[in-house]
Amino acid sequence: MALIVQKFGGTSVGSVERIRNVARRVAKWRAAGHGLVVVPSAMAGETNRLIALAKEIQPHPDPRELDVVAATGEQVTIGLLSMALLELGVKAKSYSGWQVKIVTNSAYNKARIIAIDDAAIRRDLAEGQVVVVAGFQGVDEAGNVTTLGRGGSDTSAVALAAALKADECHIFTDVDGVYTTDPRIVPEARRLRTITFEEMLEMAGAGSKVLQIRSVEFAGKYRVPTRVLSSLTDPLITVAEEAQAGTLITFEDDPHMAMEKAVISGVAFNRDEAKITVHDVPDRPGIAYAILGPIADANIDVDVIVQNVGHDGMTDMTFTVHRSDYARAVKLLKGQVQPHIKCRDITGDERIAKVSIVGMGMRSHAGIAAQMFRTLAEEGINIQMISTSEIKITVVIEEKYTELAVRVLHKAFELDQA
Ligand code: ASP
Ligand code: MG
């Protein structure tokens, strides 16, 4: 008998019929003798609806009160799901985040989990209950309701799995796993049977949106094997079949991992960034800080950064920011930074895309970067910026070539071949 935490996303609990299906799926696992903690999101669209209501009253809602409102979506689904289980004759009991308690810091709207009191859950599990816990929400030390940021119920589930030392965390969603790239762009994209946490983090950072990035960090840190799988299959497929379905996110040393040995695991892309260049700044200590310090102080995240080799005591610095921060970043640089550092000009481009290849195999294979650059060159795609990590190579290119670049890279690294 294993202890399993199962998370169901908004689509999976999007209607009464779907909630009944979730209950059937959970009941099936329970009947096989496993201990189950189930974490539902709010019904699809509900969190958006609640936030919109709040904004009708206050265009910039008070953060504490916004969490009071936003957290209600999950309170509905835990109750409904418990009822659906009871209707099937399965003992079940629901808990809100503050009832558990899932203790967080006080950063409303984006709180971080500090501790989980698992006493009540363990007691119920020992009695054979299915324990249904609200995702996305917690409570701070002063007793205020908090939420974990959009998509936060992934993190709730993984954190519960970590606290309970669960054998596996199942994330049921509307896709059937993690793919080598977005199948809407490359129909030949394949579902990965396994991927490492490191790769998954790089894929998420590079634009793949399967899981909330923080949940992956959490799962990696606490070594929670996490499986992404579809809730849209027949809820009564066998437990044995479902236990192998989807994509298992795991560790390099997991024996399951050996089965997949491709050098590259996936191609990710992101069209949400914009590029800013600061031209002809004096090439001396402190200049990167003089440019990026004020950007950081304004809470603008910087992603790819490139500084050129100096020439005649001058250099250029280029970096990317989220597109929604682009105008603010340029204004800040022109207003506050340019007068001090006396650069020649500040220019930018919003029509860029970031395309990345990710894979553990890169560490032991030379020539991967060269192969990537050759593939892009053969299509006449100009590379504007390059950044690398141990297991990722990212290029910034003109946005209109995104799909082409993803397609040719997917093919060049044979990701279409099982
Ligand atoms: N219901 C929350 C949201 O829509 C949390 C989640 O679905 O993970 O962001
Ligand atoms: Mg979600």
- Residue 380 CA to ligand 1 centre (angstroms): 41
Q: Which of 358, 361, 357, 364 is nearest to 409 (CA)?
A: 357
Report how far Cα 5 is from the mean position of its chain's Cα atoms.
18
| Ligand 1 pocket test, candidate residues 69, 74, 136, most atoms within 8 A of CB | 136
CA distance 74 to 270: 30
pLDDT tens digits in sequence order for the chain, 418 residues long: 899 999 999 999 999 999 999 999 999 999 999 999 999 999 999 999 999 999 999 999 999 999 999 999 999 999 999 999 999 999 999 999 999 999 999 999 999 999 999 999 999 999 999 999 999 999 999 999 999 999 999 999 999 999 999 999 999 998 899 999 999 999 999 999 999 999 999 988 777 778 888 899 999 999 999 999 999 999 999 999 999 999 999 988 877 776 556 789 999 999 999 999 999 998 888 999 999 999 999 989 999 999 888 888 899 999 999 999 999 999 999 999 999 888 999 999 999 999 999 999 898 888 999 999 999 999 999 999 999 999 999 999 999 999 999 999 999 999 998 7
Instruction: Spell out the domain ranges in the chain.
Output: 3-175+210-255, 260-418
Q: What is this structure's pTM?
A: 0.87
Phi then psi for residue 262, to 5 deg, are -60, 150
CA distance 311 to 313: 5
Q: Is the CB of 177 under 6 A from ligand 1?
A: no
pLDDT of amino acid 68: 98
Q: Which residues, in sequence order, are CB contacts of 114 under 8 Å at separation 6+? A: 103, 104, 105
CA distance 83 to 20: 9
CB 230 within 8 A of CB 245: yes
Q: Alpha-carbon torsion 44, 46, 52, 58, what sign?
A: negative
Location of structure tokens 């996303």? 9
Ligand 1 atom closest to Cα of residue 149: 9
pLDDT of amino acid 258: 61
CA distance 334 to 276: 11
First to last CA, the chain: 33
- Residue 51 CA to ligand 2 centre (angstroms): 15
DSSP annotation of 336: I
Burial (CB count within 10 angstroms: exposed 0-12, middle 13-18, buried 19+), residue 123:
exposed
pLDDT of amino acid 312: 86
Q: Is the CB of 194 under 6 A from ligand 1?
A: no
Q: Alpha-carbon torsion 199, 200, 201, 207, what sign?
A: positive
| Ligand 1 pocket test, candidate residues 51, 137, 150, 158, most atoms within 8 A of CB | 150
Location of structure tokens 């310090």? 293
Closest ligand to Cα 157: 1
Q: Is the CB of 136 under 6 A from ligand 1?
A: yes
Radius of gyration of the chain (CA): 24
Question: Domain 3-175+210-255 belongs to what architecture?
Answer: 3-Layer(aba) Sandwich (3.40)
Ligand 1 atom closest to Cα of residue 42: 1
CA distance 365 to 368: 7
Q: Which amino acid is at 98?
A: W
Q: Is the CB of 137 under 6 A from ligand 1?
A: no
3-state secondary structure of 120: helix
Q: Is the CB of 97 under 6 A from ligand 1?
A: no
CATH number of 260-418: 3.30.2130.10
Work out whether strand 273-282 and strand 345-349 pair parallel, antiparallel, or are unpaired.
antiparallel
pLDDT of amino acid 292: 95
Location of structure tokens 């859950």? 121
CA distance 158 to 160: 5
pLDDT of amino acid 253: 81
- Residue 373 CA to ligand 2 centre (angstroms): 35
Residue 314 β-bridge partners: 282, 311
Q: Is the CB of 205 under 6 A from ligand 1?
A: no
For ligand 1, atom 4, the nearest C-alpha belongs to 47
DSSP annotation of 174: S
pLDDT of amino acid 260: 58
CA distance 160 to 121: 10
